[in-house]
Amino acid sequence: RGRHRSGGSGLLCADLHVVQAVEMSVQPFQAFKFDGILGLGLSGLALSEEFSFLKWASASGLLGTPRFAFFLAEGEGGEASEIALGGYNAARALEPLTWAHVVRPELGYWQVEVKAVRINGVELDICRAGGCRGVVDTGASHLGVPAPWNEALEKALTVDADAELMDCRLAQAPVLEIEVQGRNLTLRAEDFMRQMPLMSDVQISTPGGIRADGGSFGAAGEVGGGTAREEEQALARSSRQRRCRPKLMPVSLPAPLGPLLFILGEPVLHRYYTVFDWAAEKVGFATAATHRNIARQQQQQQQPP
């Protein structure tokens, strides 16, 4: 059991159940910069309802509304991320929210239906017959794509980098659209590209991706120090043929979660402010008011009609 407090003029206190780790392996935990994990999944992922933060929040009456929200910044220029509990911060969105209902909420994941996937407006076959879903996941650094479709998607989004290009987020690349209920989640190079260009024969991404046997999340080298990052920078300076590659990882999961499961990680969440309503079991999306999105919006407004 633990104590919950919040600042401000009033003091909010309540008892809740927590799980304490008494021993952890060196890898990957030595690289983590946090002291614990606040699970915000639906009740299906909790050890029991007594360990569900959302159930506690509903029963305590301490939060204004049954919602929380994420503003996920990249940390550049001093821009900080934010989580809102008991509602959402409208100032963090550049437009009204659109809502997508959670599918299969009994599984505990914030997953929504993926109606279609398009590259430069051309629909891919992967979701034509239905059955695609996407888990909105703040803990995933990459965009997860059902295997083996990730290979075709990576090939389509990868572009050559000229000798002067040192930041692939500035590359001219196809536009990726992921259609969910109420909107298209539209991602450009600045949203989904790895920052550093890599030589064409270098493989950085984790081959296994997310698997039913507990395979890793994210890209190889992101946990356990800066070695991979240093190697990427060295490769980017090479005179050999370089390419800009998207931050994708394969997802290989059986039913009921898979097989057509996307992981809507940081490439989506840096672009969109997300609001989670656990009473209505729905997820809200709006273009986030990040420095990058504001600059993009201003450039679009300055363009002639």
- pLDDT value of residue 232: 55
**CB of 191 within 8 A of CB of 270?**
yes
In this structure, of 1-15, 41-55, 214-228, 244-258, the range with the lowest mean pLDDT score is 214-228
* Residue 195 in tokens: 């920052």
Element housing 250 (H / E): strand 248-252
* Ordered strands of the 67-71 beta sheet: 82-85, 67-71, 272-277, 282-287, 98-101
- pLDDT value of residue 36: 79
Gap between the Cα atoms of 135 and 102, Å rounded: 9
- Residues whose CB is less than 8 angstroms from the CB of residue 152 and which lie 6 or more positions away in sequence, other chains included: 124
Asked if residue 148 has a cis previous peptide bond (ω within 30° of 0), the answer is yes
pLDDT tens-digit profile of 148-185? Answer: 999 999 999 999 998 889 999 999 999 999 999 999 99
Gap between the Cα atoms of 89 and 108, Å rounded: 25
- pLDDT value of residue 174: 97
53 pLDDT band (50/70/90 cuts)? confident
- Residues whose CB is less than 8 angstroms from the CB of residue 10 and which lie 6 or more positions away in sequence, other chains included: none
Gap between the Cα atoms of 245 and 216, Å rounded: 19
Average pLDDT along the chain? 85
1 pLDDT band (50/70/90 cuts)? very low
Return the half-sphere exposure (C-beta side, CA atoms, 13 A cut-off) of residue 289.
10
- pLDDT value of residue 43: 87
Q: Please choose, from the candidates 194, 187, 190, the residue with its C-alpha nearest in 3D space to the C-alpha of residue 287.
A: 187
Gap between the Cα atoms of 264 and 145, Å rounded: 9
* Residue 228 in tokens: 């991979």
* Residue 3 in tokens: 């104590």
Average pLDDT over residues 117-126: 97
**CA distance readout (Å), 139 to 59, 72, 98, 127, 267:** 26, 11, 22, 24, 12
- pLDDT value of residue 2: 41
Q: What is the dihedral of CA 229, 216, 80, 77, to 10 degrees?
A: 20
pLDDT tens-digit profile of 244-302? Answer: 999 999 999 999 999 999 999 999 999 999 999 999 999 999 999 999 999 988 888 87
Which residues face 3 on adjacent strands?
15
Gap between the Cα atoms of 53 and 41, Å rounded: 8
Query: Strands 176-180 and 183-187: what pairing?
Result: antiparallel
